[in-house]
Each structure stands twice: as C-alpha cells, then as structure tokens.
Chain A
Amino acid sequence: MIKTVQLSKIYRTDEVETTALNSVDIEIKQGEFVSVMGPSGCGKSTLLNVLGMIDSPSNGEYFFNELEVGGLSERKRSDVRKHNLGFVFQSFNLIDELTVFENVELPMLYTKVPANERKKRVEELLEGMSIMHRKNHFPQQLSGGQQQRVAVARAVVNKPKLILADEPTGNLDSANGDEVMKILADLNSTGTTILMVTHSQYCAEFGNRIIRMLDGTVVTENVVKRYL
C-alpha cells in the first residue's frame, strides 16, 4: 500500500537547515498495523505528515497504492487524501465551533456524501463509540477520552483505507488510552491499515510491526512478538 524510496524531508529557514527525514525506505502492506517509535525530534511526525500527504517530501519517491504521490500538486494530494486517509491526533484537533455530530460529519461534506447517508453514518459511528448521547455537545464540553473517540469517528467516517494516528493516547489517561487503542485494533481487524506514531511501548505493541527511528532515519524494524 505504501512504499517510500530514499524519502527525505529538509526544513530550511533563513539560517538553519534541518534534515527531518533522511533517505527513508519503508513499505507497509494493506491491513498492517505499524507503530513508529523514537525519541522526540527523530522525524516520526514528519514521516506521518509526508505519508499522510499533508506535507511534501524534499527528495525521494512515495508510492501510495502504486501511485507516485510525492510530486503531486496540493489540490491532487488533497483529493487522494480525502478519499483514502483518516487522521487521529494527540491533541484531538476537533473544531471547537462545531458540535460532535458536525465534526464527524465534516469529512463527508468534502467528499459530497448525500445528507441522509451522512446522518446514518455519523449516528452509527457515534453509537458504536458510545457517545451518541453527546452528539449535540461542543468539544470543550467533553472529556479527553470522549474527544478522542469523536476524533477517531471523524477519521473513519469516510471509510479510509489508511488511518494515520499521531500519538493518539498522548493526552489521555490509561483507561481512556486503552479504549482508543482497542478501537484502533478493532478497525485494523476489519481490514483498515493503521500507521501510528507513539512514545509508548505498550501502545506500539497493539500493532504488528514497530519501526524505530533516530535522527531522521529508520534504525530498526521489528515484528511484534506475538506475531512472530
């Protein structure tokens, strides 16, 4: 599903040049749950952004479903993104001015799903995440765990092939963190590919493979023990 060849990302300001990704070669197959680990500043989030097509690589190639997407225009990347990818962030990134229902509905507005279909899908998801009773609340009125469940619901509402999660449990207590990880694992079990950045070994092991990074390069790739 994903293949990168010598993928690099360099950030330049007037005085400083920072290499965030340095010739990264990785491959992720359909249905995998891959965790990315590494110390702060090692390039995990940059990798996620580039693979999530919200940032473009400086060098190298990035194939998504065998289509080279690294060099696409912003408009085309946005098109590929909205039909194929879902995002979950550490800080949830829900839109404060929209209700739970509207937040989850939003991606479908951009993919032009008809209104009744939107309503059906949102309600099914909120039901499944046990937050249906809060559908008319605003994000600030929810707990962290609830917000992240809404964020996950929003990420999957367009039935993406790949979910990119950037420390999805980073702002949650362990009980809520567990719940979110279970949801992701369930999604993976139904065929959704997941790429997750995390600091937590515990969370990483929900996946079937762990990629470890340091200074912008991939240092090791291990299959999680239980899959050995």
Chain B
Amino acid sequence: MFKNNLTIAWRNILKHKLQTGINIAGLAIGIAGCLVVFLLSKYELAFNEKVVDADRIYRVYTQYNGQFSGVNAGVPTGVATLAATAVEGTDVQCLVQVYNTSVTIPTGQGAGILKRLGKQEDIVLTSPEFFDLIQNYEWLAGSPRQSLTEPYQLVLTERKVKQYFGVKDAREAIGMQVLYQDSLNTIVAGVLKDPDFSSDFHFTDFISDKTIASSFLKDNFPIDEWSGTRSADQFFVKASQGVSAETLTGNLKPLNDRFNKDNEPGEATDEFLLQPLADLHFNQDLGIFDTGRRPAHKPTLYGLMLIAGLLLLIAAINFVNLATVQATRRSKETGVRKVIGASRKQIAGQFLAETFLITLLALPVALALSELAMRYFSEFLPDGLTMSVQSPSVLAFLLGSVVLVTFLAGLYPSVVMSAFHPAFAIKNQSQHQSKGVGLRKGLIVFQFVLAQAFIIGSLIMGKQLNFVLKKDLGFDKEAIVYFWTDRANKKVLQEQLGRLPEVKGTALQNKPPIDRGYQTSVLEFDRDGEHKESEVHFRMVDTAYIGLFGIELLAGRNVLPSDTMKEVIINETFAKDLGFATPDEAVGQSVSNSKQSFPIVGVVKDFHVRSLHNKIPPLVITGANNSAYSVAAKISSDQTLSASLEKVKAVWEEVYPGKDFNPYFLDESVEKLYESETKTAKLINTATGLAIFISCLGLFGLAFFTVTQRSKEISVRKILGASIAGIVGLLSKDFLKLVLASLVLATPIAWYFMDKWLQDFAYRIGIQWWMFVVAGAVAVAVAFLTVSFQSVKAALANPVKSLRSE
C-alpha cells in the first residue's frame, strides 16, 4: 500500500512540475531559514550548559542605586578578600581578573626574542580555585595546586602552547618563559587540554594571582581595594549544595555593609547581587568578560525564530492553497479509490505520503540554501558556528521538520480530499468548492499581511538608518582619523603628524566628539540659593579640538592650554539645564565638584556625543592635556587617503616602534554605532524579499489553476466581445482585492512594531502615511505582475480550443 502511495505520489510530482517546483522552492527556503536559526539558537543556548555544577555557579556583580543607578559586572577587589571570611554558603570563591596585554616569547637565552605577538585577549590573573569553580578542564601537565600557587606561575591551553612555542607535545612547554606587557616574566607550570565544552570561559593564559603582589601589576590591580570597581575584576562563587540563590544573596550582606560604610545618611545604598551562570551569555547590561565578545541577544534570537517560522508558514500555505485548488482535479481519483474500497484513512495517508515526498525533495535544496545563507549572514553568526549534516541534532531537526511540514502542509488537504463523497467525486464534482475558496482567500490574505508588514518594516528601518547616518551631528566627521596612545610621546606624535603636509590639523582628546563609551562625572551649580547637581559627560582636550571638529562656539571663548581641568566650555543643553536663557548668560558663571570650582568660559552648540538612541546630554569640554590619550588628525583631501595614511603610519612607527598601528576613522566609528541596526535591516530586507517571493510563487500557482478552471468562461467572454484588457482585469481583480485587504490588516501590525522599534531612538523619523501606500503599491504591483503573466496568456489564447475541449 505504502509503495503504491509513493508511486502515485512520485508520478504526480513529475506530472505537475509547476506545482512541485513552487512547493519545493517555498518549503526549501522555509526549512533552510529554520535550520540556520536552529543551529544559531542551539549554539547560543548551549553556552555554559555543560559546565559542571552550572546551576550552582554565580557571578557577583555590583548594582548602583540612587541617582546614578547602573550595574558593573565587576566588584571592588576587597570583596574577594572579605568574602573569604564573611560570606557563608559557598563551596568555591574565585576572583578572575582579565588582563589583556601584549605577549612576547623570549628565546630563553639572554635577551633574545623569539616572537612578539602584540595584544592578546583571554589572559586572566586567578587562583587555583578557578579550577574548582569550572571543573571541566583536563590537565595535560601539572595540576591546580602545583601550577597556580606561586608567583609568576602560568598555565596555558594546548592551543596557546602551540602558538607560543610551536612544540609538538604541549607538555614540552613546562618550564618555558612567557613575557606579558614586555616585562612580566612568567614560567609555564601547567598545560590544559583545549576545552571541549561550550562556555564563556574562553581563557587561554592563566597567570597565578600571587604574581600581582610581587610585580609591577600591583599598580594596576589593587589588592583588597574598596574605592573603585573595574569590570575586569570579576568574582565568582559556587553555592554549597542546597543553598538557594536567595539565601546566598542574603549572605552577601557583610559585603554590602562594607561597601556602603562611608555613605552619607539618606544616600542610596549600592549592593552586590548574584547572576546565575545560565544568564552570563545573554545579559546585555553586564556583558560577559572585559573582552571584545558580546553577549547573545535573546530577543534577537526569538525574533529570528519567529521570522524563520513565518517563512515556513508562508510556504506551507502555498502548499495548502495549491493542493486545495487542485482538489477538483484529484477528486475523480479519490472517488474511484473510495468506490473500490479505500477508507478515509487510506486516502488521507496517500496525500500525506505525497506531501512527505515533496518535503523530502525540498531537504537537499534546503541544505544547499542553508550553506549559502550561512555565508551571506556570516557577520551575524558566531565564529564557532558550523553545520554538519551528520550531527545527530541536525539530523533530528531535519527529520522533525519533515514530519512537522508534512502535517502542517498536508493535513488539511488530505482531510478535505478524504472527505469527498464518492458519488460526487467520481463525477469531478467537489462539494467543498465554496469552503475551499474562502479558506484560500483567507490564507492569501494572511501571506500578504506578513509580506506587506515586512515591506513596511524594511522601508521604515531603511529610512531611519539613512536618517541617523546622514543627520548633521553638529561636528565634522569626514577625513578624521584618531589613535589611542599611551601617555608617553603623545605630544611628539601630535607634533610630528602636524608637520605632515597631508595632515590639515591635529588635536589631543580623551574621546572624539561621538563615541560608544562615555565618561561622566557629577558637577554642582549654585545660583540664588538653589543647588543643582548634574551628571555631565566630559571631553578632555587641547585647544585645537573645537576647531578640528568644526564645533560651533555660540558664546565666550575657547579653553586655554592646560594640563589639568581649570575652566570649562559647556554645551547648550547643559546651559539650559542650569537655567540660563541665553548662552551668553552662562559665560562667567561657575560649576564645581567637591574639590574645586571651574569658570564657564564658553558655550558650544549642541552636538551628538553618543548614538542617536540617546538624547544629547549635558556636556563639558575642558582643557586637560594630561587626560587626553588620543590623537586626532584631519587628513587633507589633496592626495588619496591610502597614500596619506601611509605617511601617517610612518610617523607612528617612528614614535612608537614595535607598536601596532590601529587608526580609527571617525565616520566609520559613527557607522559602527548602528552596527546592530544595520544587521537587523539586512535581515529584515532579506526576510521581506523571501516573504514576497514565496507568497508570489503561491499566487502564481493559484493564478495558473484559476485560469485553467475558468478557461471556458474566458472563451465565452471573448467570443461575446470581451477585450484582452477586460479579461486580464477580470482575472487579476480578485487577487488584487485580497492584496489590498491585507494592506489594511498589515498597516496597524507594522505600525505597532515599527513604532516600538523607533522608540529606541531618541532622534527618529515619523511614521508617514505614504510609507504604507508605497508598501501597498509594491505588493499590488508585484502581485499584478505575477497574476497577469497567467491572465494575459489566457486572454490571448484561442477561445475555440478551450471550448472544443469542453
């Protein structure tokens, strides 16, 4: 029976190539989308899952409350010291201090250098307890208690050993030297097998934390310190068996008490809280470690799942539509089968077998498309993400999707067809005609609601991105390049760059006018007995800064040359916040911090200091050369950029021999602020294209069958004098009505979601009525083209032919 079902299914597939092609194309796109999203979700959601005792491991982070509320993934290092005696209910406590720095491999003889590796990530200072916290590591040589207890001891992973020393057997590295930051001389005392579990603990170089006290590191890594919190100093605990997160949070009270010891009465208390390990990979506010790796964004993952699911649904709808419209053609076959003894179950089974076969045929196409999609979207996908068809989870996913799609797409048609009354079916009279038509219309409307919502979405995203990238930010961002320097020689670099004819101007800065990161401080202002405190952004610069970036001075003068903060220029927003009616009024007044008062010497026109997600905040520009570690240069447009940059690079190498040349272009930095939005827009544009494509495939198929079914009517109309345009109109009208109806439904849905998306921007475009009109026009035009291909063919056909065949 099954063989017979498959045989007939196969022959039907071959016979109806158009329908088969449409179904395979749609389903393959849908399945490919789902597969890629499945791989991505599986990859991201599996993070830290395999860590032993994952459910008992927590990161302790700092929560600031009150006026300047916020979080910091790190803790003051004093927390680790105090917790050892004061916090109960833990099996392991461990401080992990990220130390990203340059690595040098000496030859081991004299001062010879084997390799200079520049700045490396994933280096940490920690204690043997780290390996009690994360027990998954396998040791090739050494052990936690032998290899990480003495100063200058170093544990490396196998991969790093190979990179540093090029030895075949990683164990040979024991006793070899690695220099960090040019002069921290460490000795390899242990080697770990490369971790085979997926976790955020990507560390490759573990330096014994005992090294801090006996080396220059103690200047940068203060021990038992309570005054500052760096996100690079992270504290982990493993709760004892049976101790809940609530209990353990309560146990942190001694830490909170110590931290808030010097608070003024009534001041909000800051606190330490626990973040479960399972949240580590996903928390956008806390981040992962102090490295370039960014947490996965769960809402984006869910959004992707939704989009992939919708694409598959649109494809399944095509299947249902094409199958039901064909039900009439298949009704004779169904009737005959019933008459000679087939049960409903057997008939339904046969149609499901057909759907199964088509879905199966879509699989190889889907796999090929997934490969393509993974290349096209490589910027979205984490580096470690790969697809292997042999992997059990991919096989299980494919099997699951075939079963799901078979039922999703095949169930309704098979139920409808198996319910045919044999006496009617055998005469090709379907009794479900009118019901089928209603359903088909509903499904087309559903498809086009989605397609048009996508069109509106990508239109609005495109407009908003264009707006944020083209908006006048209040400063000049073209042809400006900047570098981060160390404190030494920044003036030398600035002077030498200034002498190049290719450089039109230079300035010292703590940051360019706009930047992802920010530095704020509280300034006070007193006038007429009123005291005001404001959180203010800072630009610590030299006198050339304002001119270099073309920032407009509205009142007063530029800052005078100074090494430390003595006077300030404020922006319009700050002036208004302080209650000045005009910029001129502010000049001559003073703001202060707890130690010192600073005269306001000028007011600049507002410019954007962060991405357009944020409102322009109160800002202070102050002359403070000592705090400005970055050199900015405006490149002349007389020569090509690359030629000028070569000259700049030569100067850099002269001033900083052996240091990496990393120029940042301001216009690129601005674009980078909207990296995630640009990626989202790319995704939505692709989804829009695919949604329109699959929907139109379905429409094309339906138009084909409708035209076939109505061929007699068309012929009679032509014989009676109908024009070609009239017939095309007649056949297209019904479809276009549905597309227009779906615009009505898509409008509020798209408006709701896009309005939400735009709310994330402090500066944004308004949603305009014409955007919906354009979306509707695009959908109508595409649908009309799709349908008219068939209807024009029908209108041009010889009417005698179809009447004779009747």
Contacts and interface: CB of A to CB of B under 8 A. Distances in A.
Interface of A: 49, 52, 54-55, 74-75, 78, 81-83, 87, 89, 93-98, 102, 106-107, 109-111, 154, 158
A172 B333 CA distance: 21
Contacts of B8: 95, 97-98
Given A93-B332, A95-B333, A106 B340 contact: yes
Contacts of A98: 7-8, 11
Interface string B111-145: 00000000000000000000000000000000000
A185 to B, nearest CB: 23
B426 A97 contact: no
Interface string B336-377: 111111111010000000000000000000000000000000
B344 A97 contact: no
Contact of A74 (B336, B337, B344): B344
Given A49-B423, A54-B423, A97-B12, A81 B341 contact: yes
Interface string B313-340: 0000000000000000000110111111
A106 B422 CA distance: 16
Given A54-B422, A93-B336, A95-B336, A110 B344 contact: no
Contacts of B470: none
Contact of A111 (B12, B15, B341): B341
Nearest to B332: A93
A220 B343 CA distance: 37
B339 A54 contact: yes
B426 A93 contact: yes
A97 B423 contact: no
A221 to B, nearest CB: 25
Contacts of A107: 340-341
28 contacts: A54-B339, A54-B426, A55-B422, A74-B344, A75-B343, A75-B344, A78-B338, A78-B343, A81-B341, A82-B340, A82-B341, A87-B339, A93-B336, A93-B339, A95-B8, A95-B333, A95-B336, A97-B333, A98-B7, A98-B11, A106-B4, A106-B337, A107-B340, A110-B340, A110-B341, A110-B343, A111-B341, A154-B340
Contacts of B7: 98, 102
A216 B337 CA distance: 28
Nearest to A48: B423
B712 to A, nearest CB: 19
Chain B interface residue number, banded: 20 to 34
Contacts of B336: 93-95
B581 interface: no
Point out which of B336, B337, B338, B343 has the most chain A C-beta atoms below 10 A from its C-beta: B336
A82 B402 CA distance: 33
A109 B346 CA distance: 10
Contacts of B344: 74-75
Nearest to B12: A97
B422 A95 contact: no
B1 interface: yes
A87 B346 CA distance: 19
Nearest to A155: B340
Nearest to A107: B340
Contacts of B423: 49, 54-55
Nearest to B5: A109
A163 B1 CA distance: 24
Which of B11, B338, B339, B346 has most chain A Cβ within 10 Å?
A: B339
